[in-house]
Amino acid sequence: MSFSDYIKFFIGLFALINPIGILPVFISMTNYLAVEGRKFRAAPLLVRVLGQTGMNVITRIMGLLLMSLGIEFIVTGVKALFPGLL
């Protein structure tokens, strides 16, 4: 069995034991999926509005943000490993 099958199995058991307790989990999952579905449906419009140059700019900015997060994680790890260094 895969991990998702185990999750489905345990959520099913939990629903049998306490059916009211599963409602917040179900609501949060469906809310998340609805938001993501709207994002996927809006993507072609966003591509049409931004164009190729806009998409390239957004890609570069997102790459820069991801790189800065990675550097922050590395610096935090080095600080934890060598407290007197930085």
Task: Give per-10-residue mean pLDDT for the chain (86 aa).
Answer: 70 71 74 85 94 96 98 94 83
Q: What is the rounded (10 degree) CA torsion for 57, 63, 69, 72? A: -100
Position 12 scores a pLDDT of 73
Number of domains in the chain: 1
Tokens coding 27: 């609501």
| Domain region containing 8 | 3-81
What is the rounded CA–CA span in Å between residue 26 and residue 31?
A: 8
> Hunting for tokens 């931004």 — which residue is that?
50
The predicted pLDDT at position 1 comes to: 59
Q: How far is CA 8 from the centre of its chain?
A: 20
pLDDT score of 36? 85
| Residue 86 domain flag | no
pLDDT of res. 2? 66
